[in-house]
Every structure is written in C-alpha cells, then in structure tokens.
C-alpha cells in the first residue's frame, strides 16, 4: 500500500445511517453543511449486527467513524464533535454561535427535536410505518398500530405551530443564522413529509421556513432517498410544495 | 437598593428541580462539583405552572436560571453551559476532558444515562412510583403499573453490569478523571437506590464505583432528600451499603 492510499483511507470518515432515521438525517445535513465528505453505509439498527454493536453498544443510528477509527455515536454527539473539530474553524459555515448564551438556545432546540419531537412524532411514525415492516413478529414487528400513528399526526400540528412561532420572530429557528437547530428540526420533519404525514396547511410560517431549508444543497441527497416498497409522498422532493 | 445587593442578586443562579428527578440530580451534582452555589426551587413538573412553562416551553426539570436571567433547560444543556462558562477555567475540577476525542466518550455516556437508562429504568420507576401519586386520575395518575416496574427492575441489572464493565477498565466511567459521565450515571442510580430497586448484589465493580461517587461532598445534599410519604430505602444514605 502506498503512503498516499493509506492517508486517504485514514482521512475519509464513514457514517453508519438509516435513510429514514431522522437522527441520521440530522447528521447527514450537518456533515454536508460543513463540507465534510463521508462514505455512507446503510445500517438497519433492528438487525443488531455484532459489528455495529461493537462500534456503539447502544446500537442506534447514526454512528460516525471519524479519521483514525474513532466512533462518534448519536446525532447530538456528532454535532458537538463536528463543531469542535471542523465548525470552530469554518467561519460563516459554523452551525453553532460563538456566544455561550446563544449556544444554549441551539442546544435547547436540538434537544427539543431529537427528544420531544422524536417521542411525540417521528418515533411513532418511523417505528410503526417502517421498522415494524422489517422486524420479525416475535421481536415486535407486524402491522402498524393506528393509535400511535394518530397520536403522531395530532402532535405534529402543535410542533409545526411552535416552529412557525419561532420562524416569525427570527431569521432561523435559534436566531439570525442557520444552526444545528434548523438541521435537527428539518431532519425530523423531512421524515414526516416522506411518509405523507406533514399537514402543510397548519402553519404558513413553518412551511416557508421548511421550504428555505429544504432548498439548500445539503438537502439534495435526502430528497433523493427511496425506501424499497415505500415511495415518498408526492410533494416530498418538490421544492414548491 | 445598594449596588452590592443588586450585584449579589444578579450573581446567584436558581435551579428549578424536583428532588427525585434524576436529570435534576445530575445538574445538582455538576453545580456542586464545580462549586457553583444556587438557590434550589422545587418544581413539580406535572403541575405545568405557567411561570415554569415560560422559562422552558418543554416544561421539564431541571431548568437553571443563570445570572442575568438566562434560562438553561435540561441537564445536558446545563452541563455544556457550565463547562463553557465555569468548567473551562476550573482546572482539575473541570468535568469534561480537554481532548475532543475524550469528550466524545463523556457525551456518549451522558446520552446513555440521560436517554437509554431513563427510557429503560428511571423513567418507569419515577413515573410509576412517584409522579402518578400526585397526578389526578384523569391526567394519568393512579396506582403504579407493576409491569413497568418489573421491566425497570430487570433492565437495571444489565445497566449495572455495563457500569461494572467500564469501572473495571478505567478509573472513572469515561476515563482517568471524574466527568459528567459519572455524575449522570450516579444521579440516575441514586433515584433507583432511593426507591429500593438497586440490586447491589449484581455487580461488585459497579457497587464499588457507586460507593466512591456517593462519598463525594457533592452527594451529601442528595442523600438528605426526603419525599413526603415515601421514605428512602434503608441503605440509601449509608456510605457503607
């Protein structure tokens, strides 16, 4: 092996992800916005592969394997790692503000979407509509539970109104500039939209904000995702939805 | 008002917490280890007080109101805020390593305990045994669901073995020094222990690690906590349990 090939192998990071996992999508958006190229490896977390569990004992997507083999598990941990290693020197492309007080607001909203929105919306939809199709019945697979899907569809409305509330007062969700807060929110909403469960008539300001984020080049790869046997909603990849 | 009293009012932070909320306990330990004095205000998050929701729309404990009135919601966000504003200048008392690679491990474990351990253990126990006693039946209150409590009691065993696995290989959970990983883990386990559900015969290394953390001065206030009508388990405050 030449020194050159060794070097390029060491420098390319790998993201273990699942296309409709919203946490994975948040990590993909962050990497793309910061201009970090990665090899994408599709992981089906419900298979609980030994090699994947060795990278992350929690067995959850996404996991970034950075230069040198360091495993960075979980979208929020990946976001902090990228901010410290790439973002801090990225100037205007940085996805966190410099001011610690403003960083609180970004982290509050990232936790809101990664935690609360997942618990109340995307967790239900992704588990019921996608993961349960692939998991054997003995492990909890089977047809979707409609009560969970109805709960998600009710809950997403107040989350869209909250996004609209923020978007009417600020240029982006956490302030003047694009931050991880926008990427986390848009990643989760993109999964809801793929599955046809985004009620776009609910809040005009939220829709306008999402249209802006969705139009960014970092979003293109997400809009091209296709899950076999489950086509996206008609307007999913449409920038004028 | 004299300039002095104005200054001391502005400098004292307030932590809105619930005594047996493990996230609140993580924040209390972090504040105590860093030597930050705060006024503690007990909040019953299930009451959804308007003034509390104004501080944090998610309505979850803990919320730190820092100098100048900035609301910092959520234990992990509080930990990052404290690290940036106090920890970075605290020398050996800092609760995060300087190296970004080592910070990944701390954040991975904080997410493990705040997320996975909560979902599989403390969330069940605290909701079923405590919160449901105070919430009206129409809002989900009532007697504890024994299936949830049994699930928590089964799950805590493998978590203790995982703590033991780490503690046998490292001085503290994330490496050589005490970090937020130890405080998050010990905060959650202290709630399990208060409720009498910690199977201390399961893993000797985990027990030894917990005894060390529990003996720290930062833990004293937690060991003095009492929930009216629900006494702690006999060995809860005992340093030789």
Q: What is the pLDDT along chain B (241 residues), one digit of tens a residue?
A: 333 333 344 468 999 999 999 999 999 999 999 999 999 999 999 999 999 999 999 999 999 999 889 999 999 999 999 999 999 999 999 999 999 999 999 999 999 999 999 999 999 999 999 999 999 898 889 999 999 999 999 999 999 999 999 999 999 999 999 999 999 999 999 999 999 999 999 999 999 999 999 999 999 999 999 988 899 999 999 998 9
CA dist., res. A150 & res. A60, Å (int): 25
Provide ipTM, 2 decimals.
0.94
Residue A67 pLDDT class (50, 70, 90 cuts): confident
Chain B contact present for A86, CB below 8 A:
no
Residue A12 has a pLDDT of 84
Residue B67 has a pLDDT of 84
Q: Which of B152, B218, B211 is nearest to B180 (CA)?
A: B218
Question: Residue B80 is nearest to which of A107, A116, A162, comparing CB atoms?
Answer: A107
Residue A10 has a pLDDT of 47
Residue B228 has a pLDDT of 87
| A77-102: average pLDDT | 96
Sequence-distant (≥ 6) Cβ neighbours of residue A142 within 8 angstroms: A132
Residue B11 has a pLDDT of 64
Chain B contact present for A114, CB below 8 A:
no
Q: How far apart are the CA of A117 and the nearest CA of chain B, in angstroms?
A: 11
3 state DSSP class of A230 = strand
Asked if A23 and A75 count as a contact pair (C-beta separation under 8 A), the reply is yes
Chain A contact present for B162, CB below 8 A:
yes
Residue B168 has a pLDDT of 97
Give residues 165 to 224 of A whose Cβ lies within 8 Å of B: none
Question: Residue B74 is nearest to which of A81, A100, A108, comparing CB atoms?
Answer: A108
Q: Which residue has the higher pLDDT, A229 or B160?
A: B160
| A128-134: average pLDDT | 93
**pLDDT, tens digit, 9 for 90 and up, residues A135-163:** 989 888 999 999 999 999 999 999 999 99
Residue A158 has a pLDDT of 96
Q: Which residues of B touch A80 (CB under 8 A)?
A: 80, 103, 107
> What burial class does residue B26 get, using C-beta atoms within 10 Å of its C-beta: 0-12 exposed, 13-18 middle, 19+ buried?
buried
CA dist., res. A18 & res. A38, Å (int): 14
Query: Which domains are delineated in chain B?
Result: 3-93 (3.40.30.10), 100-223 (1.20.1050.10)
Chosen for mutation from A78, A82, A111 (greatest number of chain B CBs closer than 10 Å) is A111
The label of the residue with tokens 């003034």 reads B51
Chosen for mutation from A75, A81, A99, A104 (greatest number of chain B CBs closer than 10 Å) is A104
Residue A11 has a pLDDT of 64
Residue A229 has a pLDDT of 87
3 state DSSP class of A42 = strand
């Amino acid at each position: 092996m030449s020194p050159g090939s060794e070097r390029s192998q060491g420098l390319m990071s790998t993201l273990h992800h699942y296309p409709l996992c919203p946490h994975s999508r948040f990590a993909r958006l962050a990497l793309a916005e910061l201009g970090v190229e990665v090899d994408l490896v599709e992981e089906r977390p419900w298979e609980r592969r030994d090699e994947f569990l060795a990278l992350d004992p929690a067995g959850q997507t996404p996991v970034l394997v950075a230069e040198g083999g360091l495993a960075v598990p979980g979208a929020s941990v990946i976001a902090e790692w990228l901010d410290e290693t790439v973002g801090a020197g990225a100037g205007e492309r940085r996805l966190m503000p410099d001011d610690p007080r403003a960083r609180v607001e970004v982290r509050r909203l990232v936790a809101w979407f990664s935690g609360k929105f997942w618990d109340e919306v995307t967790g239900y939809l992704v588990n019921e509509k996608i993961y349960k199709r692939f998991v054997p019945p003995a492990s909890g697979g089977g047809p979707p539970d409609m009560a969970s899907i109805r709960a998600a569809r009710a809950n997403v409305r107040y989350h869209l109104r909250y996004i609209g509330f923020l978007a009417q007062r600020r240029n982006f969700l956490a302030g003047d500039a694009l931050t991880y807060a926008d990427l986390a929110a848009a990643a989760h909403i993109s999964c809801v939209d793929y599955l046809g469960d985004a009620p776009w008539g609910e809040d005009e300001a939220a829709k306008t904000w999402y249209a802006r984020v969705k139009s960014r080049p970092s979003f293109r790869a997400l809009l091209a995702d296709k899950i076999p046997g489950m086509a996206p909603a008609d307007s999913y990849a449409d920038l004028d939805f």
